[in-house]
């Protein structure tokens, strides 16, 4: 290790790995400091990548030269396109991964990357002089100089682990917390920190499961890789997919949970640190939806070389004995043996209202934050921000303008725009409903949207970009029915003529709808100052969710612009409100004219 770097990245989770790789691949001397090099890119919750809206983000990172998609292709044990029975605009790739392999492969990539050094230590303070970070202090007292820093500390800052009412310090189970850096962020960088909480599920031994009582959930027959750069056929040939399974909770499970809510570490309707509404613990589901007598539990393998099984849907903060009882009440799990109990983790996060759209802190311009520290939850959300934070740290050092993605070109742009303008009062995760341009920012066209950006930053190689340009031309030619001199698949690999044809098919299918989508988005933008009557009755808008109605009724925004800035109000909600107000205005005008 040297004593001076262009960029220091703190943390080698999903955000830190993308940040460090991006900087090093941009040619900058980069150091990544992490508490434990055996847990690089660890998946402490479900070892799955992608899913609704998240899959699109992974494809976007890949199109710009990031790592997550490639790593997933080589560590995945089951691949599925979610929503495949619906239109291609909402197709979302998802892969169940071998969690150890995922971590090992990412660590190996980091180790083999030029310009990148790795150091196992704890970053304890940021040295700030004249308003800029100039060094990072580590646990043993040394200071390493730097021109920019990226903080991606995940769930570790002053982390507390909760098991029922029992709690102790820790960043994840069996990993210690980062005890010191919060103080420096507050005192040296002027950053205010809040507390969030998230939970995981118990893991059980596969040998103790009766799969005959469950429904098998196989992977896709013709799986598709995540990465634009993975060659499909050889990859498919080598892939050995494992099945997942489906079972359900039942009234007995709900009784065990319902009778013991007071013993849970999850704050049900209390003022304690908030957990993600969209990844709720079973306690929260049972409280929120008392009418439901059963919930899905997906039974998912965690790797090729382990019997550990993840119970997706059974997030809980209940104590050990109740977790065991709850599991044994479920069909197929009557004799299930727990290997790891579920726990909740509480940690410091920084409100992203304190960072710019380049993910730089407003107080210290060469300090960037990415991942769970910004109040988000999820590997993909973390990797997306880590990538952008890393790229922007690199661009800062090079004296170039930052990369800021627009809402109409990417989910990553939406994520960053949402969190930096609205903030959050609970952990943020991505959904397709947050995207007003979702018909045009699909998983199939991530390369067409973003590969030029990756190329401009210097993260797409000459060879790959040449193939991509050939492919893009083929798409245009097929669209214009100019198919006399299309390239061969050999010239295009890893792209193909089949893929180009599919792209044109999807584009044509949505062309008309995209026009309408863009018009509505334009109308919403134009109507930012439109007044909302003080006594407006949001219950009249049946297509709004109960949560949206309640938030709007509570805040009572005076204009459309104000409504759109309320946390958790989605662009689709604003479109509904705008169209309704416009209709009301026309009706009133017509009524006046008739009178």
The residues that bridge with 311 in the sheet, in sequence order, are 299
Binder of ligand FAD out of 8, 12, 107, 150 (CB under 6 A): 12
- Nearest distance from residue 316's CB to ligand FAD, in Å? 11
Q: Among 39-47, 83-91, 93-101, 361-369, which window interacts with ligand FAD (CB under 6 A)?
A: 39-47
- Nearest distance from residue 37's CB to ligand FAD, in Å? 9
Lookup result for tokens 């306690």: 283
Q: Are strands 367-369 and 143-151 parallel, antiparallel or unpaired?
A: parallel
Residue 45 contacts ligand FAD per CB under 6 A: yes
Write out the binding residues for ligand FAD, residues 102-131 only, by CB under 6 A.
122-123
Encoded tokens for 490: 């050999």
Binder of ligand FAD out of 51, 135, 223, 371 (CB under 6 A): 371
- Nearest distance from residue 13's CB to ligand FAD, in Å? 2
Closest C-alpha among 104, 27, 118, 332 to residue 204: 332
DSSP string, 99-136: HHHHHHHHHHHHHTSTTEEEEES-EEEEEEETTEEEEE
- Nearest distance from residue 230's CB to ligand FAD, in Å? 23
- Nearest distance from residue 367's CB to ligand FAD, in Å? 14
Residue 14 contacts ligand FAD per CB under 6 A: yes
Cα 525 to Cα 54, 135, 380, 543, 583: the distances in Å are 26, 43, 28, 21, 17
* Helical H segments across 134-229, by residue range: 181-187
CA dihedral 183, 163, 168, 127 (to 10 degrees): -20
- Extract the runs of DSSP E, i.e. beta strands, from 326-412: 338-340, 344-350, 367-369
Write out the binding residues for ligand FAD, residues 481-510 only, by CB under 6 A.
none
Write out the binding residues for ligand FAD, residues 19-38 only, by CB under 6 A.
33-36
Nearer Cβ to ligand FAD, position 414 or 532? 414
Give the C-alpha separation, 323 to 311, whole Å.
12
Number of residues that bind ligand FAD (CB under 6 A): 37
- Nearest distance from residue 33's CB to ligand FAD, in Å? 5
Nearer Cβ to ligand FAD, position 185 or 577? 185
245: left (phi over 0), alpha (psi -120 to 50) or beta: beta
Binding mask 316-345 for ligand FAD (x = CB under 6 A): ---------------------------x-x
Give the C-alpha separation, 219 to 78, whole Å.
5
Residue 10 contacts ligand FAD per CB under 6 A: yes
- The C-alpha angle 398, 403, 404, rounded to 5 degrees, equals 155
Nearer Cβ to ligand FAD, position 173 or 465? 173
Write out the binding residues for ligand FAD, residues 243-302 only, by CB under 6 A.
279
Give the C-alpha separation, 408 to 412, whole Å.
10
Residue 382 contacts ligand FAD per CB under 6 A: yes
Nearer Cβ to ligand FAD, position 374 or 578? 374
- Nearest distance from residue 119's CB to ligand FAD, in Å? 9
Binding residues (CB under 6 A) for ligand FAD: these are 10-16, 33-36, 39, 44-45, 122-123, 152-156, 172, 178, 181, 198-200, 279, 315, 343, 345, 371-372, 377-379, 382
């Amino acid at each position: 290790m040297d004593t001076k770097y262009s960029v220091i990245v703190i943390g080698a989770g999903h955000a830190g790995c993308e940040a460090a790789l991006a900087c090093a691949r941009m040619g900058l001397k980069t150091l990544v400091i992490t508490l434990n090099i055996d847990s690089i890119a660890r998946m402490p919750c479900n070892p799955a990548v992608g899913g609704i809206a998240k899959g699109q983000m992974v494809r976007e990172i890949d199109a710009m030269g990031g790592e997550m998609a490639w790593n997933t292709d080589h560590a995945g044990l089951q691949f599925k396109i979610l929503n495949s029975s619906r239109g291609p605009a909402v197709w979302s790739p998802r892969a169940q991964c071998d969690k150890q392999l995922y971590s090992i492969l990412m660590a190996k990539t980091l180790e083999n990357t030029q310009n990148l050094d790795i150091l196992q230590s704890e970053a304890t303070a940021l040295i700030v002089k004249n308003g800029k970070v100039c060094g990072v202090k580590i646990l043993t007292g040394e200071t390493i100089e730097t021109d920019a820093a990226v903080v991606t500390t995940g769930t570790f800052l002053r982390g507390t682990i909760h098991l029922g009412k029992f709690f102790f310090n820790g960043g994840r189970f069996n990993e210690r917390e980062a005890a010191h850096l919060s103080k420096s962020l507050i005192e040296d960088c002027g950053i205010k920190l809040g507390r969030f909480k998230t939970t995981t599920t118990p893991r059980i031994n596969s040998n103790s499961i009766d799969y005959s009582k469950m429904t098998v959930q196989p992977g896709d027959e013709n799986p598709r890789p995540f990465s634009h750069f993975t060659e499909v056929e050889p990859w498919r040939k080598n892939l050995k997919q494992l099945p997942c399974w489906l079972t359900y909770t039942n009234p007995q499970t709900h009784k065990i949970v319902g009778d013991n809510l007071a013993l849970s570490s999850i704050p049900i309707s209390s003022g304690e640190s908030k957990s993600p509404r969209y990844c709720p613990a079973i306690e929260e589901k049972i409280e929120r939806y008392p009418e439901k007598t059963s919930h899905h539990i997906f039974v998912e393998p965690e790797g090729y070389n382990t019997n550990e099984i993840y119970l997706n849907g059974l997030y809980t903060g209940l104590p050990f004995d109740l977790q065991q009882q709850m599991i044994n009440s479920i069909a197929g799990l009557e004799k299930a043996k727990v290997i790891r109990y579920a726990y909740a983790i509480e940690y410091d996060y920084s409100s992203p209202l304190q960072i710019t759209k380049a993910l730089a802190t407003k107080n210290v311009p060469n300090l960037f934050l990415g991942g769970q520290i910004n109040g988000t939850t999820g590997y993909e959300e973390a990797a997306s921000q880590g990538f952008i934070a890393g790229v922007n740290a690199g661009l800062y050092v090079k004296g170039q303008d930052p990369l800021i993605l627009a809402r109409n070109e990417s989910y990553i742009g939406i994520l960053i725009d949402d969190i930096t303008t609205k903030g959050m009062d609970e952990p943020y995760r991505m959904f397709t409903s947050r995207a007003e341009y979702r018909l045009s920012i699909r998983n199939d066209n991530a390369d067409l949207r973003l590969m030029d950006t990756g190329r401009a930053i210097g993260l797409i190689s000459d060879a790959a970009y040449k193939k991509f340009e050939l492919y893009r031309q083929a798409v245009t030619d097929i669209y214009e029915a100019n198919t006399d001199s299309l390239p061969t698949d050999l010239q295009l690999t890893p792209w193909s003529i089949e893929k180009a044809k599919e792209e044109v098919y999807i584009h044509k299918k949505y062309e008309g709808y995209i026009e309408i989508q863009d018009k509505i988005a334009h109308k919403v933008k134009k109507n930012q100052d439109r007044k909302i009557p003080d006594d407006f009755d949001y219950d009249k808008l049946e297509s709004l969710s109960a949560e949206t109605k309640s938030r709007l009724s509570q805040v009572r925004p005076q204009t459309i612009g104000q409504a759109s800035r309320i946390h958790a109000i989605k662009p689709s909600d604003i479109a509904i409100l705008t169209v309704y107000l416009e209709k009301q205005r026309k009706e009133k005008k017509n009524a006046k004219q008739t009178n």
